[in-house]
Structure formats: structure tokens, C-alpha cells
A and B are shown apart, each in its own frame.
Chain A
Amino acid sequence: MKSLAELEAIRNKTLGSINLRNDREEGTRIVVGMATCGIAAGARPVLSALVDEVAKRDLKDIIVSQTGCIGMCRLEPIIEVYVPGKEKVTYVRMSPEKAVRVISEHIVNNRPVKEFTVSEADK
């Protein structure tokens, strides 16, 4: 049984570690297109996979956020990765499995997954 007491425990644990995560402005952002086109194409499980993987690896300075229609509806689900100081990378036709690879290869090991990028989409 899930209880509200567990939520209180999470609060107390988070309060203990809250000062570890301040420079959030400086971090990497992963943005998921969540308009009708993205949702219909499967963006919801992609977003959940990204959030789970960031939590599982305890990546502190990564922000996963949502946006509307990115403008290439036929290539959804689309995610965009913004690493400070680098050019934006756009990944298309994502799946939860591909999203996990983007985290491990691009975010953690700093090697963008070329085969999933928009520039490779129609080759």
C-alpha cells in the first residue's frame, strides 16, 4: 500500500539534499514535443522513459521539460537536447528504448546518437 507517510519520508529526504542542486540554470535541457501530434505518436512513454532514466542514474543537472508542437509532426515523437555551449541536437521518431540510448550516449558520454538525428531521418 502506498501511503502519505511515504510522501513525508520523500519530503524529509529531499530537504536533506536540496542544497546539492542549485545551479540548475547551467544544466543540460531535454525537451519533448507534447502537442497532439507528439502525444498521438507516442511522446508520453518517451517522456516517462527520460524522466525514469535521469532519476535512475541520479543525474543532477539535467532538466527534462515539455513543449508544444515542434513543427515536424510526421517525425514525432521528437526530442531536443540543449547542452550549454553546444549546438542543439534534434532527435526524431523516438521510442522509450531510443530515449534511454540518448541519455547514456549523448548526455552521459557526450556522444550524440547520429543515427536518430533529424538530419539522418530521410536518408
Chain B
Amino acid sequence: MKELSLHILDIAKNSTAAGASLVEITVEASHPDNCLTITIRDDGKGMSSEFLARVKDPFTTSRTTRKVGMGIPLFELSAMSSGGGLDITSASGEGTTVTAYFALDHIDRQPLGDVASTLTVLIQGSPAVDFLYRHTVDNAAFELDTRQVRQILQGVAIDGPDVIKWLYDYITEGINNLGGNLI
């Protein structure tokens, strides 16, 4: 993975595959704490404690085409390369939260990259799922809630090409206004 937004896409895809109806994605950058925190929280089917205990092992996966699952191990490796780490909490029937921490100024921390593209690909791929995206850089914040978008659309499909393009531009502009594109 070349950028953190690709990890976000990959991990959030696990959430939609787990039957989530709401996926909350949070990116928090704090210069005073020199910390970048990325959280992906869902209300999907969750994991048993037995599966959770071995979920960071690349030889654990729920996919059926191969016996390896690299998404979580790659995200953890990326976090650890910057002196950070990755936590997962989950309970069967209650959803899953994946949190990754990075040292903001570490030379090996990957750039955040194109989050707007990640979010529009997620919305396009799972138009029935709601996404809440929160991005903070120190005291500035941007938020996108697809439930609000749906209210405005009043039944018009959220994954139509015009809406997806508008979402991409809206998110890009919102993140750029925070300086979030420089993270």
C-alpha cells in the first residue's frame, strides 16, 4: 500500500463485508502530540474472541479464495514502522473498532493520500451503508455524514455519477481547507 487512505479503504471494506449499516472513519492529526490516529468503527457482526485473538496473523482470513489475509497485518506493519501500533476491539454481534496510531513526523510514516477517493469508492461499492467521516487537524474539523447527504437527496441514488463526483470534490475541498491534504 502506498498511502494510508488505501489501508482505510481495505479495512473499511471488512466492515461492509461484516454487514455494517454504519461505518465511522476518523482521522485525527495532532501536531502538539505528534500523533496521527486513524479509527475505523463499525456496527457489523463483529468477531468472536477466538477469531480476534488470531486476527493479526496473516494466515487468518474470512475470505474463501485464499488462506491468507494481509489487510490487518499490513496496516499494523505500516503503523509500527512509524513507531506506532494497531489495536482492535470487537465482540460478536456488536461490531469492530480498528485503531492505528502513527508518529506524525516519522520519516517512515506513509502519507495520508487521497481520502476522498477512498470514501467515494466505499460509497459507490456499498450504497446501502452509511459512512460518517470525521477529520481533524489540531483544532480544525471536517465532517461528512452520508445520512445527511441522503436527506438532501430525498431518494435519489447516492451512487449516481453526478453525486459521486460532487462528493469527491466536496470531501477534497473540506480536507484541503484543514490542511489535511498535507498530512
Contacts and interface: CB of A to CB of B under 8 A. Distances in A.
Contact of A1 (B121, B154, B173): B173
Interface in B160-179: 160-166, 169-170, 173-174
A39 to B, nearest CB: 5
Contacts, number: 92
B154 A39 contact: no
Interface residues of B, number: 37
Interface of B: 1, 6, 9-10, 13, 17, 63, 65-66, 69-71, 74, 114, 117-118, 120-121, 124-125, 149, 152-154, 156-157, 160-166, 169-170, 173-174
A47 to B, nearest CB: 6
Contacts of B161: 51, 54-55
A48 B152 contact: no
Interface in A1-31: 1-2, 4, 6-8, 10-11, 13-15, 18
B38 to A, nearest CB: 15
Interface of A: 1-2, 4, 6-8, 10-11, 13-15, 18, 34-37, 39-40, 44-45, 47-48, 51-52, 54-55, 64-66, 68-71, 73
A70 B64 CA distance: 10
Q: Closest 10 CB pairs between A and B?
A: A55-B161, A66-B125, A71-B65, A2-B170, A36-B71, A69-B65, A14-B156, A11-B156, A10-B162, A36-B70
Nearest to A38: B10
A55 B160 CA distance: 9
A104 B65 CA distance: 31
Contacts of B160: 10, 14
Contacts of B170: 2, 7
Nearest to B70: A36
